[in-house]
Amino acid sequence: MLKFRINDIDVEAEPGWTVLETAREYGIEIPTLCFHEAVQASGACRLCMVELREGDWTKLVASCVYPAKDGLNVYTESERITNVRRWIFEMLLSECPASQEIRDMAAKYGVTSTRFAIKDPEQDCIMCGLCTRVCAEVVGVHAIATQSRGVYKRIGSPFMKPNEACVACGSCVSVCPTGAMARRIDLVRGKMEENQTNAA
Taking CB under 6 A as the binding criterion, the range among 73-81, 113-121, 181-189, 191-199 that sits at the site for ligand SF4 is 181-189
Rounded Cα distance, 121 and 197, in Å = 37
92 binds ligand FES (CB under 6 A): no
144 binds ligand FES (CB under 6 A): no
Residue 57 as a binder of another protein (CB under 8 A): the answer is: no
Ramachandran category for residue 4: left, alpha or beta (phi over 0 → left; psi -120 to 50 → alpha): beta
User: Using CB distances below 5 to 8 A depending on partner kind, what does residue 35 bind out of another protein, ligand FES, ligand SF4, none?
Assistant: ligand FES
Closest CA to 123 of 106, 105, 99, 102: 99
β-partners of residue 10 are 5
Which of ligand SF4, ligand FES, another protein, none lies near 191, with the C-beta cut-off 5 to 8 A by kind? another protein
Query: Which neighbouring-strand residues pair with 59?
Result: 52
Q: Which residues bind ligand FES (CB under 6 A)?
A: 32-35, 43-48, 62, 64
Q: Which residues bind another protein (CB under 8 A)?
A: 13-14, 16-18, 21-22, 24-27, 29, 36-38, 134, 138-141, 157-162, 166-171, 173-175, 179, 182, 185-186, 191-193, 195-200
